[in-house]
A = this chain, B = another copy of it.
């Protein structure tokens, strides 16, 4: 037994050569089928962050979920497409059984002390301790890897579809379970930890899955580190569910109302 945090265990990478790493799924982050997408996003990011060629902090991450990832091992291939004075562009592929199961692009950039202005502000909400935690015992293992205190728009697990479409908005306090100091990889995983909006709007869970997810890291390394183990305030909403595709916009707020990250995704749903 070691006391490695389950997220760090899920993010263990083995270097195969300069351009390839190996990883594997872990039971604590199991999804309905295969792994929780957030750990895949975080693994792509770690493959770049841990690369000796990387100069700067992650600023953008797009992950395309191309095919089902099975439980077990897989490889991530990476290519530094372009490295300039201020920015690097990386392209990545996740391969399992010789098939591409996910692709990613990552932008790394230098952060300097230049003009700064935050326009958006977090919603005013009661503290995490003042709202109930999502109960345990839910069917997907990865959900238990997050402490979620819903302020608004908690998930409907009754299995009963709403008679009318509801608001797509959720607001919650969110942190790793057990507690873990925030880093960019944890932030990348959290950006994919919001229940798909079909559940929110319809109260039901048709066959569905995230197709493509883009996360922007607005926080400098100092801001990420300063968050420590404090819960983040997350918001999620959507604009349109139509013709098999639904969107989702996410904000992740840190201490002192700092916008740490935002993400957007498109999910496919069957009916």
Contact = CB atoms under 8 A, between A and B. Distances in A.
Interface string A72-106: 00000000011010110101010000011101010
Contacts of A84: 67
Given A243-B114, A247-B262, A271-B114, A238 B119 contact: yes
Interface string A237-271: 11111111101010100000001001010101111
A112 B115 CA distance: 46
A46 B218 CA distance: 31
Interface of A: 59-60, 62, 64, 66-67, 81-82, 84, 86-87, 89, 91, 93, 99-101, 103, 105, 107, 109-120, 165, 167-168, 198, 201-202, 206, 211-212, 214, 216, 218, 220, 237-245, 247, 249, 251, 259, 262, 264, 266, 268-271
A249 B202 CA distance: 25
A62 B212 contact: yes
Task: Identify the 4 closest CB pairs spanning chains A and B, nearest first.
Answer: A66-B82, A120-B239, A111-B243, A66-B89
Contacts of A241: 115-119
Given A119-B240, A249-B249, 13 more contacts: A62-B64, A66-B82, A66-B89, A109-B245, A115-B241, A115-B269, A116-B241, A218-B239, A220-B242, A220-B243, A239-B259, A239-B262, A264-B264
